[in-house]
Amino acid sequence: MSRHAFNLRRFWAIVVKEFIQMRRDRLTFAMMVGIPLIQLILFGYAINADPKHLPTAVLSADNSIFSRTLVWALQNSDYFHIVRQSGSEEEIRTLLARGNVQFVVHIPEDFSRRLLRGEQPSLLLEADATDPMATGYALSALDTLVNSAFDRDLIGPLSRLRVRPGPVELRTHRHYNPENITQYNIVPGLMGVVLTMTMVIITALAITRERERGTMENLLSTPVHPGEVMIGKIIPYILVGYIQVTLILAAARFLFHVPMMGSLPLLLGVILLFISATLTVGITFSTATRNQLQAVQMAFFFFLPNILLSGFMFPFRGMPSWAQWIGEALPLTHFLRIARGILLKGNGPREIAPELWPIALFMVLMLTIGIKRYRQTLD
């Protein structure tokens, strides 16, 4: 097999063939351009991970300046939209159960009295937490809100009450995206997600298709080398990947006004590594599948942990440690950090280096498995 080394001519034959086939397969091509567009619109416009103006009911048993201040503060924040201020316990409970309100704030009878005595009165907040994402931000905002609201009223002789620390400050100061615009976070991440999804499926299909259509038998009977086939099949899809990246970056810039703090060439360079790593997954999958349906199923299996555990959907630090371990093994996790770092923080090569080598390692591992498993016979 040593005399039968990689041959550029044969490699080029595969590249040319793949390009022609890709051009003929209009549907797949349209999908590869369509998927990033659809996802951009879905994630960019429709999905908002930080919902505001959540319907809220306030039940106040204490008619004092302090309770009015609280209502006023809630009303003035973007998060709460007070839809009810009175009603029986029963009525309010129904509202919550039906989802007409997301929150119910109970102000107890002795609220102002205990506040003035410095007894740290309790506020009962009931939240419809079926969707934790929807309430998370609002809840953390409330904490700050309540404590600062009274600062205005607790003056003069009452100012001594302000000294005592209120409930713990949960809300974190937001660097880089102080306005907390979801799109800034989502759009760079989307680039990685779209690449992961399309690249894995498409390469897995490209090789499985040869087996399913029987053309593999012909290909294997020629002197072509597995490496020539694999790399020859990858090249056209790297190009497709860059088309997708261009689309997404253009949308990021012109539709969502995502800042581009760092170097674009650096980002494009990292993307080459990331696309290659993703393509090796597709190739390895194709060695294990018998038909195109299986290939697509496997690609989705891979896609799931990627989208859930990479920090795209949920904050990475909020995951249990076992999930973080899985996340660390995925190239998407590291790519997301790099892409967000370059775009939003203006990171340079030095800052992204620790995220580069895991992607490279992943690629080498996958490629080794892929070439080892690639059957040069029909056995």
Partner 1 sequence: MSGEELVIDVRGVTKRFSGRAVVNDIAMQVRRGEIYGFLGPNGSGKTTFLRMLCGLLTPDAGEGVCLGFDFRTESAEIKKHVGYMTQRFSFYEDLSIEENLDFVARIYGIPRRKEAVNRSLETLGLVPRRRQLAGVLSGGWKQRLALAACLIHEPRLLLLDEPTAGVDPKARRDFWQEIHRLAAEGLTVLITTHYMDEAERCHRLAYIAYGNLLARGTVAEVVRSAQLTTYEVTGPNLWELAAKLRGAAGIEQVVAFGTTLHVSGRDAAAMDESIAPWRVGGWQWQPVASGLEDVFISLMDRAKDNFS
Does 372 participate in binding partner 1 (rule CB under 8 A)? no
Cβ-based nearer residue to partner 1, 75 or 218: 218
The pair of three-digit structure tokens given for residue 322, joined into one six-digit string = 């076992």
Contacts of 56 (CB under 8 A, 6+ apart): 74, 80, 81, 82, 83, 101, 102, 103, 104, 105
Cβ-based nearer residue to partner 1, 8 or 163: 8
Does 172 participate in binding partner 1 (rule CB under 8 A)? no
Q: Give residue 77's region: left, alpha or beta (phi > 0; psi -120 to 50).
A: beta
Does 293 participate in binding partner 1 (rule CB under 8 A)? no
Q: Which residue from 88, 172, 321, 377 is in contact with partner 1, where contact means CB under 8 A?
A: 377
Cβ-based nearer residue to partner 1, 4 or 174: 4
CA dihedral angle for residue 298, residue 303, residue 309, residue 314, rounded to 10 degrees:
-150
CB of 17 to partner 1, least distance (A): 5
Cβ-based nearer residue to partner 1, 156 or 223: 223
CB 104 within 8 A of CB 54: no
CB 325 within 8 A of CB 260: no
Binding mask 10-29 for partner 1 (x = CB under 8 A): x-xx--xx--xx--xx----
Count, residues near partner 1 per rule CB under 8 A: 29
Q: Which residue from 130, 172, 222, 321 is in contact with partner 1, where contact means CB under 8 A?
A: 222
Does 30 participate in binding partner 1 (rule CB under 8 A)? no
Does 4 participate in binding partner 1 (rule CB under 8 A)? yes
Does 223 participate in binding partner 1 (rule CB under 8 A)? yes
Q: Which residue from 157, 214, 265, 320 is in contact with partner 1, where contact means CB under 8 A?
A: 214
Residues that bind partner 1 (CB under 8 A): 1, 3-4, 7, 9-10, 12-13, 16-17, 20-21, 24-25, 213-218, 220-224, 376-379
